Amino acid sequence: MDELSVLAYELRLDVLDMIYGGKTGHIGGDFSVMEILTDLYFRQMNLSPENWGGKDRDRFVLSKGHSMESYYAVLARKGFLDIAEVKEKFSAFQSPYIGHPYRYKIY
């Protein structure tokens, strides 16, 4: 397995932790998009916490609402979010980490 395949597998484990802890989620949607998100964020896109406000950074729009858990896992591994916080607060009352996309922060 190549490095990104291993990473996608590890990120799926983060997704399972989120869904189990939050008692809700979309495993099928999350797992089906993981290789795409992993390749985009770790091989293709010019986007990092250091350049997220720059004019020349890449932008990404997630329109697959049943993949937020995967998106949170990828953003955390990329350094935008704290995975422990995401897992702790996922789907909790008034949490910024919910199961469908909305504009919480500029990511």
96 domain residue, yes or no: no
- Which residue, chain included where needed, has tokens 């998009």? 33
pLDDT recorded at residue 32: 96
Alpha helices in 23-106 (DSSP H): 27-39, 68-78, 83-89
pLDDT recorded at residue 107: 45
Residue 57 sits in which domain range?
3-89
Q: pLDDT in tens for each of the 107 residues of the chain? A: 799 999 999 999 999 999 999 999 989 999 999 999 999 999 999 999 999 889 999 999 888 888 999 999 999 999 999 999 999 999 998 888 987 766 655 44
107 domain residue, yes or no: no
pLDDT recorded at residue 61: 86
Best CA proximity match to 34, nearest among 11, 14, 17: 11
95 domain residue, yes or no: no
Distance CA 48, CA 36 (A): 17
Please state whether the predicted TM-score (pTM) of the whole model is above 0.85.
Answer: yes
Tokens representing 99 are 């199961």
104 domain residue, yes or no: no
39 domain residue, yes or no: yes
Tokens representing 107 are 């990511």
60 domain residue, yes or no: yes
Give how many domains the chain has, as a whole number.
1
